Amino acid sequence: MRILGVDFGSRRIGLAISDETGTVALAIGYLDGGNSDAVSREVARVAAERRASTIVVGLPVRLDGTSSQQTERTLKFITALEAATTIPVKRWDERLTTAQAERVLLEGNVCRQQRREKRDQLAAQILLQCYLDAQNPPTAEE
């Protein structure tokens, strides 16, 4: 039961996939942004290729919970993605995942060019890991 995580951005779309147990998220790369329909078809292809049973798309909202322009662009992408695949698509609050990814890369002394290339896929990994953790809360023994 693999789950594909998607961090939808205007320039790049970060991708992450879970392991088969749905426990660990792994960054798998990014796609160049562009037309929502073309990008949604490519995400649907990746999901099918990776045998994902669910696609989780990060929904960017402001800290106060209100929508932004990026929220509206992401909702349009989600609609196109739902039309492009039969795999269930879920929305997940992704507040601050890109900032968190940037901070991790800065702490790791990753150069600016590599940060640009890795930020979106790391953000997808973070949002997917948060989703997985919420689905599989620790037991009392852990």
pTM of the model: 0.85
Per the listing, tokens 């998220």 go with: 25
Per the listing, tokens 């949604």 go with: 40
Phi-psi region of 118 (alpha: psi -120 to 50; beta: other; left: phi over 0): alpha
User: What homologous superfamily is domain 2-135 in, according to CATH?
Assistant: YqgF/RNase H-like domain (3.30.420.140)
Q: 16 versus 118: which is more confidently predicted? A: 16
pLDDT of residue 61: 78
pLDDT of residue 98: 64
pLDDT of residue 39: 93
Each residue of 52-83: pLDDT tens digit? 999 999 998 777 777 788 889 999 999 999 99
- The domain limits of the chain are 2-135
**pLDDT exceeds cutoff 70 at 30:** yes
Q: Are 39 and 31 in contact (CB under 8 A)?
A: yes
* Cβ-Cβ contacts under 8 Å for 105 (sequence gap 6 or more): 114, 115, 118, 119, 122
Can you give the length of the chain in residues? 142
